[in-house]
A and B are shown apart, each in its own frame.
Chain A
Amino acid sequence: MLVVFFILAFVAVGTAVSMLVTRSSIYAALFLVLNFATVAVLYLILGAPFIALTQITVYAGSVVVLFLFVIMLLGAERLPGGESLKWQRLVAIGLAIVLSADFGVKMIGENTMLTSVTAPPEGYGAPAEIGKILFTKYAFPVEITAVILLVAVVGAILLAKPDEKPSVREGLRKKMDQEG
């Protein structure tokens, strides 16, 4: 189990680093898919099959496809290289080291209450169990999520809609002036 974890962790970190290093946006999106897939396998090991399959469908299935679609639509496969700010990279790496040190210190501090995980018990995290709690205890948050998704869809359509032709708007205004 530990060996599987190390392999998955290696692939996850490797794909994340490759995503940052590669110059091509398409390759970055494809590395992101691989990263999401390895994390989904980790979710399966941790006894969350429903979340793992949701991860595959939502992230790898729709989010990354949307990314690829936009990259190809905009023709942004490759951006001209060259850093405009030299100090930016140094500051970013310094901040990242500080942040990881902070995480490490916190984790060592809390180490006493952390356990090890083994294979999950039978039925833990099963879709039926998740569904039951989702529609009883968390029914109201589910409704709020539905509203958020509706707002997102309406907002996306509104933002991506091409501008109306000025002639149409002019015509409407003239009509209103005549009536009013």
Chain B
Amino acid sequence: MDSIPVSYLLALSAVLFVLGILGVLLKRNALVVFMSLELMLNSGNLAFISFARSFEAISAQVVVFFVMTVAAAEVAIGLALMVEIFRTKHSIDLDQMNSLKG
């Protein structure tokens, strides 16, 4: 049985994180930007779990559990905000959200 180098896992995590960054920077649909945020949180979790296995540290898995909880709370609040913005502006295009622009 062969093994997986931890650097491969970290590379996968980095690639997923960069893809999430690209989504946040490029997409104009606010919901897809939110999904990209989740992708970034998820890649951070993957790095945490890889280090947990590498250093045999069970605490890192607990940290991932907390990150998941906070992400779930964030999604609940964020989507409620999105519904509220849609109610006032009738669009979730990020380019339309420029009311505070000077």
Residues of A within 8 A of B (CB): 1-2, 5, 9, 12-13, 16-17, 19-20, 25, 28-29, 32, 35-36, 39, 42-43, 45-48, 50-51, 54-55, 58-59, 62-63, 66-67, 70-71, 73-74, 76, 79, 84, 88-89, 91-93, 95-96, 99-100, 103-104, 107, 111, 114-120, 124-125, 129-130, 133-134, 137-138, 141, 145, 148-149, 151-153, 155-157, 159-160
Residue of A nearest to B25 (CB): A92
CA distance A104 to B10 in the complex (A): 10
Q: Tell me the total A-B contact number using a CB cutoff of 8 A.
A: 229
Q: State whether B53 touches A155 (Cβ < 8 A).
A: no
Q: State whether B62 touches A20 (Cβ < 8 A).
A: no
CB neighbors of A among B37-77 (8 A): 38-39, 42, 45-46, 49-50, 52-54, 56, 58-59, 61-62, 64-66, 68-77
A48-B52, A103-B11 known; 20 new pairs, CB 8 Å cut-off, are: A2-B4, A16-B16, A16-B19, A19-B36, A20-B27, A32-B39, A46-B50, A54-B65, A63-B71, A67-B34, A67-B79, A92-B22, A93-B22, A104-B11, A116-B5, A124-B58, A125-B52, A125-B58, A152-B77, A156-B79
Residues of B within 8 A of A (CB): 1-12, 14-23, 25-29, 31-32, 34-36, 38-39, 42, 45-46, 49-50, 52-54, 56, 58-59, 61-62, 64-66, 68-77, 79-84, 86, 92-93, 95
